[in-house]
Amino acid sequence: MEIRNLLINLGNPVQAFSAQSSHLELIRSSFPDTCVCVAENSGDFRRKLAEADCVLTWVFKKEWYEGAANLQAVFTPAAGHDWVEKDPSGRVRTFYGHFHGRIMRESLISMMLYFNRKLSKSLGDQQHKVWGRLGYNDCRSIFNQRVLIAGFGSLGQSMAELLTAFGARVIGVKRNLAGFEKHPHAVKMINFDRMLEELPEADHVVLVLPGGAETDGIFTASHFQAMKQGACLFNLGRGNCYRETDLIDALNSGSLKGAGLDVFSEEPLPESSPLWTLPNVLITPHSSAISSEYVDLFIDEWLETVKNL
C-alpha cells in the first residue's frame, strides 16, 4: 500500500496506549516519502482528515467517512469494534489489532496461578506473619488441568498456545467451526451448542468473547450450573456475555472456586457491586492488555500489514 498522507490520532488516557516519540520516529523512518501528521486532539483530527489516505486512530465514527474522500484505510490498535466503526459504503478498509493475545495470555496465566497456587492465602499469611506451609496441599498444577476457551479468535488461540506449553488440555469454542474443526493448540474444537457437554470436565473456563447483541447473555445460568465443582471462571473479553447476578449466585453457592474478572457490564465497576467483597474473586480494572509493549506491538503489526497490502 502506498501512503502519501498518514494521519495519526493515538492519544489515550492510558499512557501505555499512547504513541510516543520513538514510535513516530520509527514510522517516519519506515515511510520517508510520506507526510506524517499527528493530530493534537479529536477536533484537529477531524479537520485534517480530508487530506489523509491512511489513519491510525483509537476512534472513528461512520459519519466521518463522507468527509474523507482520499481515505483508503483505517487502522486501530483496538481488538473490538467499540470505538472504530466500519465504512457503511465499504469503500474504506478497516483493520483492527490482532496482537493483544501476547499480552493478555500472560494476564490470564497470572489469574490462573493466583487461584491454583492460593496466592490470596500467601498474601494473608504474609500480612499476619503466619508460616502456613501445611495449607497448600490442595494446590493444582496447570499441566494437569483442562481449560475451555469460549471465543477462539486470535485472542483465544494465543492463550491456547501458551496454555498448551504449560501442558494444559485446551477445548476451543467457536460459534462457527468452518475451517476450525481442528487446531494445533486444542485437543478438541466445539461450537457453542456443545459447550454444556464440556463444562462439567473443565477446570478453568475462559471467556474472551466480543461485545454486541450476538454475545449478550450467551453464557447463561445453565452454563454456570453445568460447570465443574471447584472450577474457576475468567472473563477477559466483554462484560455483557453473562448476567453478573448469575455469576454472583455461582460464587456464593460454592460451586465455583473463584473468578478472575477484567471486564464488567458497567465500568468502572460500581462500589455497590458485591463482586468487590467476595473473597473468591480477583478483580482487575480492564487492564489485561495494558503493557509498555502495547504500541510497539501495534506498530509492528501495522508495518507488516501495510507491506503486504
Helix or strand holding residue 158 (H, E): helix 154-166
Q: How many CA atoms lie within 13 A of 28 on its CB side?
A: 10
Q: C-alpha angle with apex 270: 265 to 273, nearest 5 degrees? A: 85
CA distance 118 to 111: 11
Phi, psi of 67 (to 5 degrees): -95, 15
Coil, helix or strand at residue 220: coil
Residue-wise pLDDT for 231-268, tens only, equals 999 999 999 999 999 999 999 999 999 999 999 999 99
Instruction: For 205, list phi and psi in degrees, rounded to 5.
Output: -120, 120
Q: What is the mean pLDDT of residues 212-219?
A: 96
Write down the pLDDT at residue 172. Answer: 98
Q: Is-contact 95 74, C-beta < 8 A?
A: yes
pLDDT at 80 > cutoff 90: no
% of the chain at pLDDT higher than 70: 100
Q: pLDDT tens, 261-292?
A: 999 999 999 999 999 999 999 999 999 999 99
Q: DSSP string spanning 20-60?
A: -HHHHHHHHHH-TTSEEEE-SSHHHHHHHGGG-SEEEES-B
Q: What is the CA radius of gyration of the chain?
A: 22
Buried b (16+ CB within 10 A) or exposed e, 85-106: bebeeeebebbbbbbbbbbbbe
Mean pLDDT computed over 107-113: 98
Average pLDDT, the chain: 97
pLDDT (0 to 100) of residue 256: 97
Ordered structural domains, the chain, with CATH: 5-99+292-308 (3.40.50.720), 101-283 (3.40.50.720)
The set of cell numbers assigned to 196 is: 454444556
**pLDDT value for 290:** 98
Assign 104 to helix, strand or coil: helix
Please name the helix (run of DSSP H) or strand (run of DSSP E) that holds residue 245, with its range, or none.
helix 244-253
- Hey, which residues are catalytic here? 238, 267, 286
